[in-house]
Structure 1
């Protein structure tokens, strides 16, 4: 018989063990090995059965065992020590509290919105790299002491569990999750009643959600859950699955995440006393509606008009884009958005916010579609990609939002992602790091340089031990997978000797969209088989990844790999492991000698799995895309040559696959198998040492979060304070600067179509100009009612191509020198910056002290 409903009953802890409740409910245990070891002591067998989940363990351990532990002096001493350590961690001054901010206070609070969070495998609220990145962001923010709060949705069935059918096709299941059995607590009011956020939907319906709180160290993570009796039946399913359902389903999810998320923060701040966020960070465009909810707050609660409210919201919003392809952006039909954001009085989702203004925020080239990334960019004064190359790609991708500007001038920067070392580094490396670091920060390059003191034999011993642990795990997963696919135990004797802890091990694990090219390794099956079965220098290959349930093409790619790996000739050297999750990823990143990544450049935004491998001494073998493009140095792995200039897709794949095989055969395998008299691959280990020394401090999420604080969060908070401050002239009240900026923007947008550069004169050059010769430019500009100090007039000089396009131009600001009947005069004298075929032009841009960059408003006039 099957149970009608599943729920979790927690054991009553003896008073002396009460500290276990806090240790289990704060997800810091997921990256603190001493705390994990303490829970393992309770019942080692059940700890393994529960998947290393403290909450689940405390739900199944017997009262007799708990009473026994309550009298165990050694256990109690460790418990008390870890409880005291957690309390200290939650309250002591950390990096953030020790920073100076140019005499001003650091941001009082930061809100971080994401559609998914991969904090720990016991809370499966993630699908892939975006969610894992968000989880690492929260954990590193906690370790650094940021006053950050995370916001997302609680999915009743998470993403999905993946298994394989007998013929290798991906099969999805969606087991329901009981929040009572997870490290979550319900946000309740002073009377103990669950706090609900409410949103008005079309047809006078209400969507309500309760708020689960996951404590991620010092960081609260709010997860909104619509599966409550107060909702109509269909609305209970809004938060059923991550990235599931049709567009109607997705827009409800994104409205709940953005608008409901802001309302959840307000409730949490009021009840818990958490500082109200000054900075709002959108991790991708899914939560973009948070900006229009903040506009509504400012309109209805502070009496601002839409433009002034938008100026305030923009000043304090950060937008991070993660996709390098337009297909990765959520887009909705405009009529669907208009239906949800109707402004019909009391039934409106956002009272006081004009629907057409919301529509305009998401406008794109197709007038019938609403673009969530475009809305995110229009709502955020600061935006970034997630690697230097991705920043370049993003500036090209979104160039249309800044017409008249070259891609390099599009105001989208970059902060390269990072990974949370305590989560992703193997215990052996963490222990070695503690021995080397002393009291210094592991983010300091000097600490990593101390690896030079470590004997090559010790480094090789760690790498070999981690590889052996991976092989044990692979064999266990292989057995489970084959049994799920219908095999009998009698057929699986070969698994006991499948894979080999002494063979070069290559890992390839990630989501399975087409551009990541899961099957590039199968381009020449015969050659791959030769590499796997080479008598002297064999390799073994471990592959994993999930395809989106609706992606039939992705599932077909998985099936191709499975069918190849099922062949008796090679199944002991290549395997596809189903149900890729954080637990599997950790083992793979610990144990693989080489991490393979072969996307279509430049379509990999960052690729943090390779960072996790590098953090464990793995060597990357990758197309120069994402983070690898900026940090590959020739000694920390291998770069697969890209044939991106080849337009024919099949030929490009052939060329890059051949280059991959050549590298494995001629460069990678020889270094691994070339041993000294002690059996150590000396050249390989020196590459491992160099990888750890050079990439270790770079790939850390703590570095990434510090970059966000210094380059985005602090400037955003300072912009907010300036724009909401009372006027220095003593005019009444708050938001004076915001009103003035909004008024300037309206005047600039109205004037810009009629601004003209009517005359440009050049003087001063000799007959034969030389590099450094002085050029004087004078321009007459019709400003259409704007003052000269409200614009920037620039001379733009540089080499020109055959079509007279300026290449890598230099800009020089021109000075206002007077007024004539024909307009305002601007002039500059500048040395010629380059030799060769040189050209110049003049342009006009907006100028205002509250703008981050002259290109921000997307207004420019060219001569």
Structure 2
């Protein structure tokens, strides 16, 4: 018979082992090897079958075993030492505290919103790279001591568990997760009752959610859960699964994440007696409605909509992970009206907010759609992409919000993603790093050059050991998958010899949207077969990844790989492993010699899996997209040439051929060319170079420091500036914006005069430009005027521009005159113009308002 409800009962811990409970609920264990080893030692077999879950160990271990361990003085001493170490980790000053003590002006708190968080496979609240990145962000923030709060949803079925049918088609199942069996605690009030947040729904209904807290080292992660008896049946299902359901289900999730998330932060800081965050960070547009909730809060404090928007923008950061418009969440405007409107012009969900103003924040070219990324950009003063290339792509993709500006002037910067080394580096590498340079090597961008002292033999032996561990794991998972697909034990003797610990191993594992081109390696099946079965220099290929349940095209790609890998002649050299998650990923990153990535450039925003491989001495073989575009240096792997400007089929043919060519002519010879000592000298040199040069660049600690210095600090200062003196700054900035909006159509460059230019100008020739500007009622202090020089193309467009500020020389005949003296900064066909931009000390930059005025005539 089937149980009505599932819940977890844990064993009563002996008093001497009470510290195990504390160690199990702080997810620092997920990246702290000594704590992991402690729990494994309780019951090694249960540790494996229980999927490395300390909470599950404590729930399922034999009580007699716990009693015996309580009498083991050595074990008790280890528990006490690790509890003391955890306390030290949580309490001692770290990088952030040292900056503040050194006088740095940094935020008092950051609220970091994401739709998914990949902290541990034990808490399956993630689907892919976005969630893993968010989890690594929290862990690095903890290591650095940032006062950060994570905010998301608790999905009762996670994403999904993947298996394969007999014919290789992806099948999904959705296990029901018990929050009480996870490393979570419930936020309660002073009387011990669960704190609930309330969000108004249409037809007078209310969506309620409780708040679970996952402690990620020093960082609390708030996860909202709607599956409570107080909700109607359909509202209980709002947090049922990640990325499931239709648009109606999706908008309810995003309202809960954004509006409910802000309310959860307020409740948490109140009951935990913590300072309110001074910065709000949206990790993608999914939580974009948080800006509306913060505007509502300020409206109730007496600010009008414009004042409140100015205040919210100043202290908000928006990160986009999407390189294509199709990846942006868009809702029908009528659906937004349904959830935010009250039947009139206002909002019942957010009282005090005008419906037209809400819709304007998400406006795009199609008035019938509401664009969540546009809302994120309009409600945040600072925005960024997640690699240098992605920053450029984003500036081009969103340039419609800044008309009149060249794409490279759009105010979207970039912070290249990073990965949390203690989570993703093998314990073997962690031990080696600690011995050579100290454990801080994995948290700081220094000391990596000391790896040059490690003998080649040790580097090679480490790589061989890790490849051997991966092969054992592949065989275990391959056997389990075959049984699940219908094979019998009698048919599976061959799996004991599948893969080899001595063969070059290539890994490809990620989500399976079509642009990542899972099957590019199959473009020429016979050529791939020859590579796999080469008698002298074989290659073996391990593939993994999940396709979205509604993406049949992605599932078809998986099926193609599975059917090829099922062939009897190659099945010992290529495998598709189902149910890709963090536990599988570690083995792949540790053991693969080469990490393959072949997306359609430039559709990979960052793609951090190759970074994790690099931290383990893996070499990347990748299209120059995302992070690899900026960090490839010719010695840390191989760049697959791209074939731009041809049709998709031809492009796939060309890039697949280039992939095969690199494997045949470069990768395999470098791996198999051995010295008399059996060591591939050139390969090990590349491994060493990868560790030394990529190691410090790919760290999540570097990423979080970049966010802190470049985004959180400025956002916090801007937020304080607009809040000072009873929001005087917000009112001043909003008033300025209204004046600019009203006057801007009349702002015009009336005339431009050039003096001093010789008949034959040369680079560096002196030039004086003077311009008459009609400011349309604005003052010279309200604007900045620039002389703009650039190379001129056949359409008279300027490129490679250089701007020179022009100073106000006073009014002449009713027109303000500005002038600049400069030297010609460019050679070749050069042109110039003059433009006017809004300027205010509380703007993040002069391009922020998206307004520019130039000459009245061409």
Same fold by TM-score greater than 0.5: yes
Alignment of 1:274-293 (within 5 A): 274-293=274-293
Task: Check the 8 A contact 2:446/2:696 in 1, yes or no.
Answer: no
Task: Check the 8 A contact 2:510/2:545 in 1, yes or no.
Answer: yes
Equivalent residue, structure 1, for 2:236: 236
Alignment of 1:272-351 (within 5 A): 272-300=272-300, 302-343=301-342, 348-351=348-351
Where does the alignment leave 5 or more consecutive residues of structure 2 unmatched?
Answer: none
Equivalent residue, structure 2, for 1:802: 794
Alignment of 1:346-361 (within 5 A): 348-361=348-361
Distance 1:563 1:41 in 2: 40
Alignment of 1:147-226 (within 5 A): 147-226=147-226
Equivalent residue, structure 1, for 2:678: 679
Distance 1:81 1:104 in 2: 34
Task: Check the 8 A contact 1:759/1:781 in 2, yes or no.
Answer: yes
Equivalent residue, structure 2, for 1:388: 388
Task: Check the 8 A contact 1:385/1:415 in 2, yes or no.
Answer: yes
**Does residue 22 of structure 1 match 2:22?**
yes
Give how far 1:537 is off: 0.4
Deviates more, 1:739-748 or 1:811-820: 811-820
**Does residue 13 of structure 1 match 2:13?**
yes
Equivalent residue, structure 1, for 2:613: 613
C-alpha RMSD of the superposition: 1.2
Distance 2:453 2:748 in 1: 66
Equivalent residue, structure 1, for 2:762: 770
Task: Check the 8 A contact 2:258/2:290 in 1, yes or no.
Answer: yes
Task: Check the 8 A contact 2:115/2:257 in 1, yes or no.
Answer: yes
Equivalent residue, structure 1, for 2:577: 577
Task: Check the 8 A contact 2:441/2:448 in 1, yes or no.
Answer: no
Equivalent residue, structure 2, for 1:743: 735
Distance 1:100 1:493 in 2: 61
Distance 2:101 2:40 in 1: 43
Task: Check the 8 A contact 2:143/2:443 in 1, yes or no.
Answer: no
SS of 1:675's partner is coil
Partner deviation per Cα, 1:240-271 (whole Å, 9 max, x = no partner): 01000000000000000000000001101011
Give how far 1:821 is off: 2.9
Equivalent residue, structure 1, for 2:687: 688
Equivalent residue, structure 2, for 1:256: 256
Distance 1:49 1:654 in 2: 44
Give how far 1:575 is off: 0.5
Equivalent residue, structure 2, for 1:655: 654
Distance 2:445 2:194 in 1: 48
Task: Check the 8 A contact 2:421/2:442 in 1, yes or no.
Answer: no
Give how far 1:445 is off: 5.1
Distance 2:343 2:144 in 1: 45
Deviates more, 1:817-826 or 1:380-389: 817-826
Give how far 1:344 is off: 6.2
Equivalent residue, structure 2, for 1:844: 836
**Does residue 824 of structure 1 match 2:816?**
yes
Distance 1:454 1:347 in 2: 64
- The number of aligned residues is 854
Give how far 1:437 is off: 1.2
Equivalent residue, structure 2, for 1:712: 711
Equivalent residue, structure 2, for 1:508: 508
TM-score, normalised on structure 2? 0.98
Equivalent residue, structure 1, for 2:827: 835
Task: Check the 8 A contact 1:101/1:714 in 2, yes or no.
Answer: no
Equivalent residue, structure 2, for 1:862: 854
Alpha-carbon spacing, 1:779–1:655, altered in 2? closer, same or farther (3 Å): same
Partner deviation per Cα, 1:113-163 (whole Å, 9 max, x = no partner): 000000000000000000000000000100111110000000010000000
Partner deviation per Cα, 1:166-195 (whole Å, 9 max, x = no partner): 110000100110111000111111111110
Distance 2:683 2:736 in 1: 61
Task: Check the 8 A contact 2:433/2:441 in 1, yes or no.
Answer: no
Partner deviation per Cα, 1:402-448 (whole Å, 9 max, x = no partner): 00000110000000000000100000000000001137544555511
Distance 2:33 2:591 in 1: 18
Equivalent residue, structure 2, for 1:754: 746
SS of 1:238's partner is helix
Equivalent residue, structure 2, for 1:494: 494
Give how far 1:3 is off: 2.4
Give how far 1:645 is off: 2.6
SS of 2:603's partner is coil
SS of 2:622's partner is strand
**Selected match of 2:805 from 813, 816, 838:** 813
Distance 1:382 1:264 in 2: 24
TM-score, normalised on structure 1? 0.98
SS of 2:118's partner is coil
Distance 1:705 1:46 in 2: 36
Distance 1:754 1:109 in 2: 42
Alignment of 1:556-595 (within 5 A): 556-595=556-595
Distance 2:763 2:422 in 1: 54
Give how far 1:721 is off: 1.0
Query: 4+ runs of 1 displaced by more than 2 Å?
Result: 1-5, 100-106, 343-347, 438-446
Task: Check the 8 A contact 1:204/1:347 in 2, yes or no.
Answer: no
Equivalent residue, structure 2, for 1:731: none
Partner deviation per Cα, 1:592-639 (whole Å, 9 max, x = no partner): 000000000011000100000000000000000000000100000000
Partner deviation per Cα, 1:470-500 (whole Å, 9 max, x = no partner): 0000011111111111111111111110100
SS of 1:11's partner is coil
Equivalent residue, structure 2, for 1:730: none
Distance 1:101 1:257 in 2: 34
Distance 1:520 1:48 in 2: 35
Equivalent residue, structure 2, for 1:71: 71
**Does residue 82 of structure 1 match 2:82?**
yes
Distance 2:586 2:441 in 1: 23
Give how far 1:103 is off: 4.0
Partner deviation per Cα, 1:696-746 (whole Å, 9 max, x = no partner): 0011000100110110011111111111112xxxxxxx1111100000001
